[in-house]
Amino acid sequence: MVPPAATAIYLRGMEAGGGLILALVVVLAWQTLFARLRGRLAGWDGLIGALAFALLAPEQAPLWQQALALSFGVVIGEQIFGGRGWSFLNPAVVGLAFLLFSFPGLDLQPAGVWLAAASLPGALLLLASGLISWRVMVAVAASLAGTALITGAELAWDEMFTGTIVFGVVFLACDPVSAAATNVGRWCYGFLTGALLVVFGLGGEQGGSIHVLVFAVLVASIFAPLIDHCVVALNIRRRRVRNG
């Protein structure tokens, strides 16, 4: 996330820097508080979500709104389930959705081509280390193109694979905690995310807006545990039948 954050500060100036600092402080404060309450060591895993939220949060939103939304995302989307590793939602996605629901009229920051390009080194590193799955990426791309073709949605390639989609898929949809964990489940999760992008209006009035991606990832993440449960149940049933 360092190259995207540096790119955002360079392109947007100190306003982006203020939002980044606020997001980091809010996330670390909540993580430290819950870690102390649970008798654990505070971790640094929330920094990725904090940076992703800050890069996409609307410039016109006051800092108190951003702090409130991110607090909701961290506490309700993650910490009440036990923290990262026990939760199934991405706190940045929950926080961005909270902003859109609670303060109508806000426009989230679109991730331009430079921000998307700055995300590629991180994507390659995450893929090489196995922290994110290439299956999710391929499934989202295939489902997005296939659903647009089946439904007759008039989407050009530059609308389907904008900087917003690239950045969002890498750092939001591919989050190993909120995405499906089984290999088959990752394909299904990716296909569901891509289909929801079209269903929710990608290419409509908001075009490649991050609004559509946020809600597509949020809904797909809610279904991810069920997808994994079904995959595991089918594997168990198949082995029982095969082994008598």
Query: Has residue 118 been placed in a domain?
Result: no
In the DSSP assignment, the letter for residue 108 is: P
Say what the pLDDT of residue 27 is.
Answer: 93
Average pLDDT, the chain: 87
Say what the pLDDT of residue 208 is.
Answer: 47
Q: Which residues of the chain have pLDDT under 70?
A: 111, 154-160, 203-209, 244
Range of the domain at 165: 125-243
Say what the pLDDT of residue 107 is.
Answer: 76
**Does 174 share its domain with 75?**
no
Number of domains observed in the structure of the chain: 2
**Does 97 share its domain with 130?**
no
Say what the pLDDT of residue 144 is.
Answer: 87
Query: Has residue 114 been placed in a domain?
Result: no
Say what the pLDDT of residue 92 is.
Answer: 94
List all residues 6 or more positions away from 170 whose beta carbon is below 8 Å from its beta carbon.
Answer: 119, 122, 123, 126, 132, 137
Buried b (16+ CB within 10 A) or exposed e, 180-196: bbbebbbbbbbbbbbbb
Query: Has residue 63 been placed in a domain?
Result: yes
Say what the pLDDT of residue 94 is.
Answer: 95
Which tens digits make up the pLDDT trace of 32-81? 999 888 888 877 888 888 999 988 888 888 889 999 999 999 999 999 99
